[in-house]
């Protein structure tokens, strides 16, 4: 990992509240395909945008359900990678660490992160498609969507689809965290999807230290005090090791 500019590592070590914003790049080393990876066989014929919408579920709930069950089985066979573990390890080095993730795979929690705000929901839960509020753990073995025990509507994956808003509780928690954090670490996300991308601007407006860890530059790069270019599975563990060496 390239060294942080003079003073920035000390500034990060001194921060009381660190917010970490993560995207698909953090889970890439775990072998999880990105959302827009069509897969193979049947799924190569479909665009994710044609499957991950309320209209698609209303039109053909079994097709959408089968696609998500395929994704669940893929994710079930994955494990947290070095990037997930490094983010979790930051909790041992800094007073308060929170993660806002655009991923739905649950790998941050499995790695040991204790405060995870799931911006796009969790693939490991289902919720009532009629909006009655019922939520339950997902069963990757089911061939078709189960019925809601309260209103008998079909259950659907508890994730945010195209055309849907971020869950209010998650959005409010993320906005509040961005406004009070001393440092924001952006890792494995291109920073183009709103409102997640706005978290960096909010943190910058409140004079937080901004560190970006990504393979390539992104629209958020001009806001960053420092860029850690490279695979986050390598740069984030190196950042943790550097912090751990500070007396």
Q: How many CB atoms lie within 10 A of CB 150?
A: 11
Q: 229 is written with which tokens?
A: 């270019």
Catalytic residue among 84, 108, 120, 206: 120
In this structure, the chain runs to a length of 247
With tokens 């655009």, the residue in question is 102
Q: 210 is written with which tokens?
A: 């901004």
Distance (Å, whole) CA 11 – CA 209: 8
The burial class, CB within 10 Å (0-12 / 13-18 / 19+), for 239 is buried
Distance (Å, whole) CA 141 – CA 135: 17
Instruction: Please indicate whether residue 120 is annotated as part of the active site.
Output: yes
Q: Which stretches within the chain are classed as H helix? A: 8-14, 24-27, 48-51, 54-59, 61-76, 82-89, 107-111, 168-180, 198-205, 232-244
Q: Name the 3-class secondary structure at 72.
A: helix
User: In terms of Cα–Cα distance, which of 21, 179, 199 is closest to 101?
Assistant: 21
Distance (Å, whole) CA 144 – CA 16: 47
Residues involved in catalysis: 120
């Amino acid at each position: 990992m390239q060294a942080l500019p003079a003073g920035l590592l000390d500034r990060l070590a001194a921060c009381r509240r660190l917010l970490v914003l993560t995207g698909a790049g953090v889970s890439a080393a775990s072998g999880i395909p990105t959302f827009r990876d069509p897969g193979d066989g049947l799924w190569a014929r479909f665009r994710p945008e044609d499957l991950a919408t309320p209209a698609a579920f209303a039109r053909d709930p079994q097709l959408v359900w089968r696609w998500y069950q395929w994704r669940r089985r893929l994710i079930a066979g994955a494990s947290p990678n070095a990037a997930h573990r490094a983010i979790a390890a930051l909790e041992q080095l800094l007073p308060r660490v929170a993660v806002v993730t655009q991923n739905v795979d649950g790998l941050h929690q499995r790695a040991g992160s204790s405060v995870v705000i799931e911006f796009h929901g969790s693939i490991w839960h289902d919720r009532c498609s009629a909006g009655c509020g019922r939520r339950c753990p997902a069963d990757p073995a089911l061939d078709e969507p189960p019925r809601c025990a309260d209103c008998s509507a079909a259950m659907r994956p508890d994730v945010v689809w195209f055309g849907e808003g971020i869950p209010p509780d998650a959005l409010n928690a993320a906005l509040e965290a961005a406004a009070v954090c001393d440092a924001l670490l952006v890792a494995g996300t291109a920073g183009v999807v709103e409102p997640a991308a706005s978290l960096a601007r909010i943190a910058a407006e409140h004079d937080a230290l901004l560190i970006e860890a990504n393979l390539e530059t992104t629209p958020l790069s001009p806001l960053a005090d420092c860029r850690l270019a490279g695979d986050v599975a390598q740069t984030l563990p190196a950042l943790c090791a550097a912090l751990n060496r500070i007396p």
